[in-house]
Amino acid sequence: MEIRVKRSSLLSELIPMQGIVERRTTIPVLSHILLRAEDERLHLASTDLDVSLTSSCEAEQSSAGAIAVQARKFVEIIRAVNAEDVSLELEDEKRLRIDAGNSHFKINGLAAEDFPTLPQVLSDEELTIPFDLMKRAIGRVIFAVSTEESRFQLNGALLKLNDGGLELVATDGHRLALIENDLPGCKAADGVLVPRKALQELQRFEDEGDMSFRRSEHHLSFRLGTRELICRILEGTFPDYNRVISKENDRQAVFDKKALSQAVQRVALLTGDRTRAVRLALVKGNLTITAANPDLGEAMEELPCDYDGEELKIGMNPDYLVHFLSALDTDKVRLDLKDENTQCIGYPVDGEDKRYLCVIMPMRI
């Protein structure tokens, strides 16, 4: 392999690769990126065996070849050099020479044959999704994806295709986030569970335009430009989320989103690490947020709101409420409530999405 590439182009493709690479692994090759010179392009690939990313950039190729190099060190080198072009040349199947201006490196790698065979999603059915729509949907729900590995069926979001629409739902058992938007040309299909890591990596993409989505029996493919992310479908049954979206919350309070978020964060300063809970007390036109901790003390803050119902008190995890508020891009937020034992449902006021909501389970204080 002997090839010359633009440093800026190479770096823009390497950076997304870092999120896929396994830093702590008992399989050394999973901490590597596969470089392959072919057809006047430099092709790159990384995988953790569940999520894979491939991409490529234009290059001046003198000879073909491939090698797997240690990802972190290779990215550090390309980021550190200040030349406009970078030359890559194989000295043998496990050693790569890097020349960039006055900088010269020789790094050890692994034979390309040692790199895992990447899955392929072979399907004639392809759905085109505007990437800004998909990225926004991920940002609206990813905070609710469970991080508890024991609840593997909740370690991702349910991607559901409806006739003319796309729905994304995530829950960790304590909260639930759901977004739905119109998608012309979309046909109804069974929902699939997209793992959290795949969602995180898609969210980091900065490209614009349309993304193509395909699925096979065990894998999903998301292609955007020259990048293709393939992930294994999570197995398991996603909960019947419609059951936790209460239809009986008849008390509504409207707040300034920024003011509510900041007030909750201030009061939460006096909550404990083990018991993260604040109390919201609503009366006509006013919200009082309180927290009490026997070791730290007490906090209270009042906030005006648009509320005309009877007095109501409810305990809530402040982090859950703040995460939901941070995902909104509207100035106003509406909380639908019933009583202290019923979940709170949050909605944006005049949001651009067809439907977006967040369910937060109450806490006893």
The rounded distance, in Å, linking the Cα atoms of 17 and 120 is: 18
Q: Which pLDDT value is given to residue 272?
A: 83
Q: Where residue 287 falls among pLDDT bands split at 50, 70, 90?
A: very high
DSSP string, 170-186: EE-SSEEEEEEEE-TT-
- Neighbouring CB atoms inside 10 A of 61's CB total 18
- Span 50-71, average pLDDT: 96
The identity of residue 167, as a single letter, is E
pTM: 0.92
Q: Which pLDDT value is given to residue 206?
A: 81
List, for residues 186-214, the tens digit of each pLDDT value. Answer: 999 989 999 999 999 999 988 779 999 99
Could you name the CATH architecture of 246-360?
A: Roll (3.10)
The rounded distance, in Å, linking the Cα atoms of 62 and 85 is: 15
**pLDDT of 266 strictly over 80:** yes
Measured CA distances, 8 to 71, 91, 102, 122, 350 (Å): 17, 24, 17, 32, 40
Decide which of 364 and 81 is more confident. 81
CATH fourth-level superfamily of 2-114: DNA Polymerase III, subunit A, domain 2 (3.10.150.10)
The rounded distance, in Å, linking the Cα atoms of 130 and 184 is: 11
Whether residue 289 contacts residue 283, with contact meaning beta carbons closer than 8 Å, is answered with: no
Calculate what percentage of the chain has a pLDDT beyond 70. 100
**pLDDT of 23 strictly over 80:** no
Which neighbouring-strand residues pair with 282? 287, 312
CATH fourth-level superfamily of 127-242: DNA Polymerase III, subunit A, domain 2 (3.10.150.10)
Listed range (17-26, 44-53, 285-294, 304-313) with the worst mean pLDDT: 17-26
**pLDDT of 123 strictly over 90:** no
Q: Where are the domains of the chain?
A: 2-114, 127-242, 246-360
Calculate what percentage of the chain has a pLDDT beyond 90. 88
List, for residues 314-328, the tens digit of each pLDDT value. Answer: 999 999 999 999 999
Decide which of 244 and 158 is more confident. 158
Q: Which pLDDT value is given to residue 169?
A: 98
- Span 78-96, average pLDDT: 95
Q: Do domains 127-242 and 246-360 have the same CATH topology?
A: yes
Cβ-count burial 328-359 (b if 16+ within 10 Å, e if not): bebebbbbbbbeeebbbbbbbeebebeebbbb
Q: Where residue 127 falls among pLDDT bands split at 50, 70, 90?
A: very high
**pLDDT of 299 strictly over 90:** yes
**pLDDT of 18 strictly over 80:** yes
Q: How many residues does the chain have?
A: 365
Distance between terminal CA atoms of the chain? 65
